[in-house]
Amino acid sequence: MSALERTEHTYEIIVTPGKKPERLDAYITRSIAMATRTRVQKAIDAGSVHVNGVHKNANYKVKPSDVITVTVMRPPPLQLVPQDIPLEILYEDEHLLVINKAPGILVHPGLGNRDGTLVNAVLWHLGQREPIDVLKGREDWGDDEDAVEESLDEGVDETLDTSEAAFWDPERGLEQESAAIRPGIVHRLDRDTSGVMVIGKKYLTTMQLAKQFADRTVSRQYVALCWGIVGEDHLLIEGDIGRSPRDRTLRAIVRTGGKYAATEVTVHERFLCATLITCKLRTGRTHQIRVHLSSRKHPLIGDPDYGGRDSAINALHHAYRQKGTDVLRNIHRQALHARSLEFTHPVTKERMVFESPLPADMQACLDLLRDGYTPHATTDP
C-alpha cells in the first residue's frame, strides 16, 4: 500500500428512540470520536453523508430511528521507522540530548513525509530498531492532502505545550495520535531552519522540559539575515499569527482567529541592502520570525514562502540587485539559525547553555554582504 493510498470506511449511526430533533451536523459530530463540526459539514457538502439512503443538508433535523451513514477515507498506518541518520550531538546524558539540527530535515513525520526526519534519527539513536505503527485511525473527512497533513499539527506551535508534547520512553512506548509522531520533541524548528534543539530521552524528563517551554523559562536566540535596512536598533514586533487565508500551509498576521506572538529584534550590522539581526522569542508560533519580519517588509534572505527571494530582489534599488542576486546564490533556504538555547536540566537543576556556530551558507551570505562595505553599526550577534 502506497503512502497516499486510502481505504473507504463507513460509519452507521442509528438515532436512538426518544431523541429530540437536532441538526444533522451537530449530531454526527457528537457521535463520532475525533469528528469536528467543520469536517462533518465538509463531508455533508461532498455527498458523503446520507440519512435513510438520501443525501441531507447539514441543517436537517434528525429523528428517532433515522439511519445515518458517513463515509470517510482512512489512510494506511503511519509507521515510525528508526533510521541511521547522522546527528550532530552537542551534549548527551541519560536524560536528554542536545543537537545541532541541520537545515533541510523535518523534525517529525506526517502523512506526506513518513521518514528521513529527526524523529526517525532519534529513535535509531535511542536503540529502537523495529518500526512502530501509529495513527492507525486517522481519517480523511474530505480534506485535501495538505489539510490532512496539517491536521497533525493543529494547535501545535514551534513550541509545544506540555499537553501536546510527544514522549518516548522505553517502558511506556509511544503515546497515541499526534503525540505519537513526536517522541521526545518539546519544541521544533522549521525544516530549513538550522540550530540548537533539546530532546528528552525519558518520559519525565520530556514532561519537565515541555513545562519549561510552556512557562517561557527557556531562553532561545536566533541569528537571521533579512532584506532591507532595519532602522531601529531594538524593536518588538507583535501581531497575532494564524493560518494564511491565501495558503493554508503558510501563516500570516491575522485580525481574528490567530494567537498572540511577540518577537524581540536586535540589529547587529546594517548593509546597503540587508541587515544582520538576532531575534528572541517571547512566544513560540509556527513560522513566527519569518512572518513577523515579512510583515515589516524585511523578509528573511532566501525565504521562498514569505517574500525572501525573487520578489525581494525586485524590490531592491537597481544599484543593489546584483549584490542581492549574488547573495541568493549562496543560500537556498531562509537565513535563520537557532544559535543558542538555555534551559534548566530537569534532573540536575543546572542551568545549561548551548550554542551553535553560524552555518556555512549563512556565513557565505554574510561575507558577501560585508565585502567592500563598512557596516553602519557593528556588535557581536
Contact present, 111 and 197 (Cβ < 8 Å): no
Residue 53 CB neighbours (<10 A):
7
The DSSP line for 361-376 is HHHHHHHHHHTT---S
Contact present, 203 and 167 (Cβ < 8 Å): yes
- Measure Cα distances from 30 to 26, 48, 141, 193 in Å: 6, 17, 15, 40
Name all domains of the chain by residue range, CATH numbers in brackets: 7-74 (3.10.290.10), 77-211 (no CATH), 216-381 (3.30.2350.10)
Amino acid at 147: A
Report the pLDDT value the prediction gives residue 36, as an integer from 0 to 100. Answer: 84
Residue 372 burial by CB count (10 A; 0-12/13-18/19+): exposed, middle or buried? exposed
CA–CA distance, 338 with 355 (Å, rounded to integer): 8
CA–CA distance, 306 with 294 (Å, rounded to integer): 6
| pLDDT one-digit tens code per residue, 289-304 | 999 999 999 999 999 9
How many whole angstroms from its chain centre is CA 150? 9
H-type alpha helices, 232-347: 288-295, 310-315, 321-328
The length of the chain is: 381
DSSP code of residue 187: B
DSSP code of residue 305: T
Residue 137: strand, helix, or coil: coil
Angle, helix 321-328 to helix 360-370, in steps of 10 degrees? 160
Amino acid at 291: V
Contact present, 196 and 293 (Cβ < 8 Å): no
* CA proximity to 289, closest of 193, 195, 210, 219: 193
Report the pLDDT value the prediction gives residue 79, as an integer from 0 to 100. Answer: 77
* CA proximity to 62, closest of 4, 7, 119, 23: 23
E strand residue ranges, 105-218: 132-134, 168-169, 173-174, 194-200
Report the pLDDT value the prediction gives residue 284, as an integer from 0 to 100. Answer: 87
- pTM for this structure? 0.75
Amino acid at 190: D
| Catalytically annotated residues | 190
Cα within 13 Å of Cα(66), Cβ side: 24
φ/ψ (deg, to 5) at 13: -120, 125
Cell of residue 278, nine digits: 538576532
* CA proximity to 24, closest of 49, 7, 52: 49
CA–CA distance, 209 with 356 (Å, rounded to integer): 20
H or E element in which residue 214 lies: helix 203-214
The DSSP line for 31-93 is HSTT--HHHHHHHHHTT-EEETTEE--TTPEE-TT-EEEEEEEEPPPEEE--------EEEE-
| pLDDT one-digit tens code per residue, 156-212 | 334 443 333 333 333 333 333 344 456 789 998 999 999 999 999 988 999 999 999
Report the pLDDT value the prediction gives residue 217, as an integer from 0 to 100. Answer: 94
Report the pLDDT value the prediction gives residue 158, as an integer from 0 to 100. Answer: 46
- The set of residues, in sequence order, having a beta carbon less than 8 Å from that of 112 and lying 6+ positions away, is 3, 4, 145, 149
Give, for all 381 residues of the chain, the pLDDT tens digit: 344 567 788 999 999 999 999 999 999 999 987 788 888 998 999 999 999 999 999 999 999 999 999 998 776 667 788 999 999 999 999 999 999 999 999 998 765 677 899 999 999 999 989 988 775 545 655 544 333 333 333 333 344 433 333 333 333 333 333 444 567 899 989 999 999 999 999 889 999 999 999 899 999 999 999 999 999 999 999 999 999 988 888 999 999 989 999 999 999 999 999 999 999 999 989 999 999 999 999 999 999 999 999 999 999 999 999 999 999 999 999 999 999 999 999 999 999 999 999 999 999 999 999 987 655 545 567
